[in-house]
Amino acid sequence: MSGFARRAAGRRPIRVALVNNMPDSAFVDTEEQFRRMVVAGSDGVGAQLELYTITEIPRPDKLRSVIRERYQGLEDLWRNPPDALIVTGTEPARAELRDEPCWPYLTRLLEWAASSVPTTLLSCLAAHASILLFDGIERVPRSVKCSGVFTGLVGNTFDPLASGLRDAVPIPHSRVNDVPEAAMLEAGYRIVIGTGPSRAGWAIATRQQGDSLFVLCQGHPEYATLSLLQEYRRDVRRFLFGDGAVPYPRVPEGYLCAEAVRRLEAFAWQAQSSHSEPDELWDGFPFDETAVTIKNTWAPMSATLYANWLGLARTTLPIAA
């Protein structure tokens, strides 16, 4: 049992709230990804995950049924602040963050979290939204989507969030925008996992925001083994069925073995040069053959990171009488 777990003895299980903002196709998978991280980081001393979403965002009937069964709205969250909060991002739909459909709900949530929750973990677009809201720093579009597993450099191994991490760690990235690391440092953020030789950008940063310790994830430590492959397949499908309206995606870097890369590049050549119908091409996408070759290199780092984060949250819990 870790030091955090020993110090948690006598405390009640930690309450972790997840606000799931992901698009319809990734909504349930995202819930499972963060549930797995909370379980991995709970270190056997107990954590319960509570599910919330912005109920005002339109959803298809099937997903609305899932939400009615398992999720609560933000009004329920206001009435019952958790010990720790996770806010997911969502796939960018607008050039300007302030124009995203979730922006007004997200900003109210972030302002509330800063005064009501001991610690808040923000993923991807939610992290960028927080930086824009509190610091006025705009995200910067990348010329090419950043997708893959990249080596990040731990800024300070004595940082409580970095406890137990190696100096260099693998971490998934998947995004089309960045907030530059220099701008983060100038604004007073602490970089927990920064960019490495790949220049993928910082992965994890943190700063006290009001009464809450905000942990911002530009990387995706929560990703499952096949998450990047599933996103790549989605982007390939958009190319095929969008009549070339979107560019053909690059194969995720640092994620696949050489044979898997060759297989996907062969399909890419065929998809971009063939005059076959999209349906016919799509049937040949080598998902299963690629999936069996993928090894998850980042799971140990992710479990340690979440254990450290939840450990910090546990220190705020009262000792049972």
> Closest Cα partner for 31 from 47, 52, 14?
52
> Closest Cα partner for 303 from 27, 8, 47?
47
- What is the residue-averaged pLDDT of the chain? 93
Active site residue 231: no
Among 102, 146, 220, 231, which one carries the catalytic annotation?
220
Among 102, 124, 146, 217, which one carries the catalytic annotation?
124
Quote the percentage of the chain above a pLDDT of 90: 86
Q: Looking at domain 3-224+296-314, which CATH architecture does it have?
A: 3-Layer(aba) Sandwich (3.40)
Active site residue 111: no
Interval 7-60: pLDDT, tens: 445 567 899 999 999 999 999 999 999 999 999 988 766 899 999 999 999 999
Pairwise CA distance, residues 77 & 17, whole Å: 8
Pairwise CA distance, residues 170 & 57, whole Å: 34
Residues of the chain with CATH 3.40.50.880: 3-224+296-314
Among 31, 100, 181, 222, which one carries the catalytic annotation?
222
Tell me the mean pLDDT in the region 210-217: 97
Active site residue 181: no
Pairwise CA distance, residues 153 & 112, whole Å: 32
Q: Residues 33, 222: contact at Cβ < 8 Å?
A: yes
CA trace torsion 30, 121, 222, 147 (10° rounding): 90
- Chain centroid to Cα 128, Å, comes to 12
**Per-residue pLDDT at 181 exceeds 70:** yes
